[in-house]
Chains A and B, each alone.
Chain A
Amino acid sequence: MSQTVEMTAELPGTFYTRESPGSEPYVSVGATVSVGDTVGLIEVMKMFNPVVSTVAGTVVEVCVEAEDSVDVGDVLLRVEVS
């Protein structure tokens, strides 16, 4: 049986789905992620902090829009653990 894990923001700030406006998104729905993969960035006071996956699996939902503000505990994405 598969299990879905929520990845939440550990910092408050602005969420980014890609490294720079010209680059590909780190992940999108259907992508497979491994433990340690960067799945997004959170900008806190002009410092960019990577959001790192703690699980391996498949992204089933990206819950926030790029450049949305997020608070600690907000769900960023849902991953179906493989």
Chain B
Amino acid sequence: MADISRLLVISRGEIAVRTIRAATELGITTVAAYSSADQDSLAVTLADESVNIGGAHAKKSYLNHEAILTAARETEADGIHPGYGFLSESADFARKVEEAGVTWVGPSADTISRMGDKATAIKTAEAAGVRVVPGSGGLVTDIASARIAADQIGYPMMIKATAGGGGRGIRIARDEAELVEGFAAATQEAAASFGDGGVYLERLVDSARHIEVQVLGDGTRAVHFYERDCSLQRRRQKVWEEAPAEILPASVRSAMCADAVDLAESVRYCGAGTVEFLYDPATEEYFFIEMNTRIQVEHPITEEVCGVDLIRGMLLVAQGHPLPYRQEEIAIRGHAIEVRINSEDPEADFRPAPGTIESLRWPAGPGVRIDTMAYEGYTIPPFYDSLIGKLIVWAESRELALARLRRALAETELTGPATTLPFVARLLDQDEVIANEFHTTWIENWLEEEAR
């Protein structure tokens, strides 16, 4: 850990812009690493310097270890910020950066590999005393042991074929009668379809909320910045995020945040990270699912309600500074909502819609923040993901934030490629969204009903 004077930014799009802004405010010289498809990007324009790291295909540039390490050497960078996506959770690459004597802005390679593998992460969480989704652990071979395991797990539960996957080989049991019937059928089915009759049991968290806690650690201590509710998803991709999660009872919120800090401190976490939980509003239970060892797309809503700068925090702890925030100083004020603007056509099953932005007017005024790489005349390349910007609103309450979002969306005008802006505007009109009564598959159910 050493001071960073020249930071190589190896992400692209809006997060590269966000990173450059934070580094510039700290007086750090920024170097944007870009692919041949991104030479006209806003990140390249805003950075002090830039360096081409290869062809349009990410394998040739943003995922190319050697090209990036060479660029770091040639530009004399002493720090690398990975943003999200691409190499941000590559333990292998983080290790190479450390070995090159360059400061990696993120947790160590060891931490990434420990928390990046789901099975290991779950074991680490259990060891730190954090509850995970209850299950039988190993295979259940007969109905007697299934009954015993079921008493521990609780209903409803899933009977899952060990050889299944991707949603195949799963049966649901809502009571003991269904378990008895389903166990026999599932074992037979699994043997017939996968050639392996092994099954295990796991609690089904129905109509769950996806709630995640933001943490920042300095390698010794960690603090949390409360939680985000990211339950509005389409095909497991987040569409709309809010902070705080208004449905959480205060006691659950403080237990969940304390668990996240315990977990981070148990692995001597250094950097920004997110501890993800499934929350069952019916039982008020929550279960650890995974930890993301990087900054996340939706970090701005946390910044807005807590009044902090998480990227700056990452840059400081990476340089060996202690945590820039004390837990007792971190408080939630008001409510923030982020909606993702993707270049996809909601009228055509969300087909990707790269192309040139002909005209663009962003909203402004109180409580409105835009994190984007888009500008008038910018051609969205077809090679990467479709996120072109995030509209973030803050207001004193959730109700006022919804009104502000409506106002901000009405001010926004983008012509050229199709975007998800009209889709977001439609979401804002749904009673369940307004009433905060949704779960992680609500959008899909809604779209299916509409199509009928």
Contact = CB atoms under 8 A, between A and B. Distances in A.
A1 interface: no
A17 to B, nearest CB: 13
Contacts of B383: 13-14, 43, 45, 69
Given A14-B56, A69-B55, A45 B384 contact: yes
Given A44-B352, A44-B354, A45-B354, A13 B382 contact: yes
Interface string B54-82: 01110110000000000000000000000
Contacts of B60: 67
B29 to A, nearest CB: 31
A12 B59 contact: no
A47 B59 contact: no
A46 B351 CA distance: 11
B16 to A, nearest CB: 17
Nearest to B343: A45
Interface residues of A, number: 12
A56 interface: no
Interface in B278-323: none
B57 A14 contact: yes
Contact of A67 (B37, B59, B351, B385): B59
Contacts of B57: 14, 67-69
A47 B59 CA distance: 16
A48 to B, nearest CB: 11
A67 B55 CA distance: 10
Interface string A10-25: 0111100000000000
Pick the most buried of A11, A44, A68: most chain B CB atoms within 10 A of its CB: A44
Contacts of A68: 57
Interface string A41-67: 001111100000000000000000001
B186 to A, nearest CB: 30
Nearest to A12: B382
A14 B57 CA distance: 7
Contact of B352 (A14, A47, A67, A69): A47
Nearest to A67: B57
A45 B56 contact: no
Interface string B1-43: 0000000000000000000000000000000000001000000
Interface string B353-387: 01000000000000000000000000001111110
A68 B33 CA distance: 20
Is the contact region of chain B dominated by helix, strand, or loop, or is it mixed? loop
A68 B384 CA distance: 14
Nearest to A66: B57
Interface in B247-292: none
Contacts of A43: 383
Contacts of A46: 352, 385-386
A68 B352 CA distance: 19
Contacts of A69: 37, 55-57, 383
A46 B343 CA distance: 12
B55 A45 contact: no
Contacts of A12: 354, 381-382
A44 B382 contact: yes
A67 B61 CA distance: 13
A72 to B, nearest CB: 10
A71 to B, nearest CB: 9
Nearest to A42: B382
Pick the most buried of B56, B59, B343, B344: most chain A CB atoms within 10 A of its CB: B56
Contacts of B381: 12
Contacts of A13: 354, 382-383
Contacts of A44: 352, 354, 382
A67 B35 CA distance: 14
A14 B383 CA distance: 7
Contacts of B354: 12-13, 44-45
Nearest to B381: A12
A28 to B, nearest CB: 21
A45 B59 contact: no
Contacts of A45: 343-344, 352, 354, 382-386
A67 B63 CA distance: 14
B387 to A, nearest CB: 10
Interface of A: 11-14, 43-47, 67-69
Q: 9 shortest A-B CB distances, which residue pairs?
A: A45-B352, A69-B56, A13-B382, A12-B382, A44-B352, A45-B386, A44-B382, A67-B57, A14-B57
Given A11-B382, A45-B352, 10 more contacts: A12-B382, A13-B382, A13-B383, A14-B383, A44-B382, A45-B386, A46-B385, A67-B59, A68-B57, A69-B55
Interface of B: 37, 55-57, 59-60, 343-344, 351-352, 354, 381-386
10 contacts: A14-B382, A14-B383, A44-B354, A45-B352, A45-B382, A45-B385, A46-B385, A47-B351, A67-B59, A69-B55
